[in-house]
Amino acid sequence: MQNFLYTSDVFKGSRYGRGHPLDMDRVWPSVELVQMMGWIEEKQIVKHGPAEIEELIKFHDIDYVLALKEAEDKQTLPEKIKKKYNIGIGNNPIFSEVFSRPATAAKASISAIETIAAKKADRILNISGGTHHGRKSEAYGFCFLNDCVLSILKAIELGFQNILYVDIDAHHCDGVQDFFLDNKKVNIVSIHEKNRWPFTGLVDDCKIKNILNFPVSEKFNDEDINFLINQFIIPYFKINCPDLLIIQAGADMLCGDPQSRINLSNNAYWKAISDLLSLCNKSLILGGGGYNPYLTAKAWAGNWVVLNENIELLDMDMNRECHELLKSLKWKNSRVKNGIPIEWISSWRDKKENYEISDEIISLVNEIKEIKKYEI
């Protein structure tokens, strides 16, 4: 069966605004890298418009959605409304596409589930999705809408019984966990940096049946994530395989990302996703965090070949066109004040290095096994 990549033109030229961590291009460069490498047929790229209000209010409050729409139309909101909904405050600015951009990302995730449920595709990549902090009636952590929650709700509506959501973003998926606590049809797994915003996702939450949280330190390495995925997560869910897998593939745990202290290589990142896909053929891979445009665009472009079980394509040399595209991306960050590190823009894979599983991860796994009364 054919797999698809969902995107939209709204992501080209839309910016969160100067000085914002998302003042960069990530979505369209990922798609263009895939095209430039010849890894996709044109008919596999599907473009979407924004979701209808009716689709968004399956999770979000209507007054909040209407305020977000008004923020886009008028490019401002009354102060009281801004405060009430956290729109136009701090890191959730009012920008030109403040409604249509997140609504388009949400539409793609909802539509992906409909397409998979209708057996018109097995696997879909929605790079623009993964806005896991969004609340019912509040913008939070750069997320105005929560496409993760909306896609899971759509999956439940369409009859999926055993949905597994795995989030490998450096930040905990608080918006998703909060909404699906104790839901018998959904399991939520998150690997994230501990003691980092939003400061949720504690091990203690594992006492709740459908929650598995792995808060990890800045020393978390390539072997550690491989161990968590292959020695815990996969065997844990293999007993009762999910009928739908959603992976939030935030790329902010990669070495060189400014929003986490974790230093994974993209080799470990892609292997983790590839291994997780063995749990379920029906899968949706989302984007998420990722605040280094070069590393993020490569990571997400690579997810397309991972989704298609062609991970070996990532051993190819990067062609000139891709190199030039990456080189042209603008990023205002001290990490590039002396130029863009050549390894970020000249090869697909990071250098392979050897690591050992850290004691910290072994004791974390033992602690969680104890809570879950789980033996492998």
Collapsing DSSP states into helix, strand and coil, what is residue 346?
helix
For residues 48 and 171, which CB has a smaller minimum distance to Zn ion in the complex? 171
Residues that bind Zn ion in the complex, under the rule CB under 5 A: 169-171, 250, 252, 289
Q: Are 216 and 361 in contact (CB under 8 A)?
A: yes
For residues 169 and 205, which CB has a smaller minimum distance to Zn ion in the complex? 169
CA distance 9 to 162: 33
CA nearest to 251, candidates 236, 234, 263: 263
Tell the smallest beta-carbon distance from residue 240 to Zn ion (Å). 29
For residues 257 and 350, which CB has a smaller minimum distance to Zn ion in the complex? 257
Q: Are 368 and 191 in contact (CB under 8 A)?
A: no
Scanning the structure block, which residue is given the tokens 């979701």?
51
Residue nearest Zn ion (C-beta atom): 289
For residues 170 and 191, which CB has a smaller minimum distance to Zn ion in the complex? 170
Tell the smallest beta-carbon distance from residue 141 to Zn ion (Å). 8
Tell the smallest beta-carbon distance from residue 354 to Zn ion (Å). 27
Q: Which amino acid is at 78?
A: P
CA nearest to 166, candidates 310, 279, 261: 279
For residues 172 and 271, which CB has a smaller minimum distance to Zn ion in the complex? 172
Tell the smallest beta-carbon distance from residue 262 to Zn ion (Å). 10
CA nearest to 293, candidates 325, 315, 264: 325
CA distance 127 to 149: 16
Burial 318-343 (b: 16+ CB within 10 A, else e): beeebbebbeebeeeeeebeeebeee
Non-local CB neighbours of 128 within 8 Å, separated by 6+ positions: 6, 7, 8, 11, 27, 104, 105, 108, 287
For residues 3 and 217, which CB has a smaller minimum distance to Zn ion in the complex? 217
Tell the smallest beta-carbon distance from residue 169 to Zn ion (Å). 4
Tell the smallest beta-carbon distance from residue 220 to Zn ion (Å). 14
CA distance 94 to 28: 21
Tell the smallest beta-carbon distance from residue 230 to Zn ion (Å). 23
Q: Where are the alpha helices (DSSP H) in the chain?
A: 27-36, 53-56, 62-74, 79-85, 100-117, 147-157, 174-180, 222-227, 234-238, 266-276, 293-307, 320-328, 342-346, 359-372
For residues 159 and 258, which CB has a smaller minimum distance to Zn ion in the complex? 258
How are strands ordered across the β-sheet holding 244-248?
45-47, 4-7, 123-126, 283-286, 244-248, 163-167, 186-193, 211-216
Tell the smallest beta-carbon distance from residue 320 to Zn ion (Å). 32
For residues 287 and 289, which CB has a smaller minimum distance to Zn ion in the complex? 289
For residues 93 and 250, which CB has a smaller minimum distance to Zn ion in the complex? 250
Tell the smallest beta-carbon distance from residue 143 to Zn ion (Å). 10
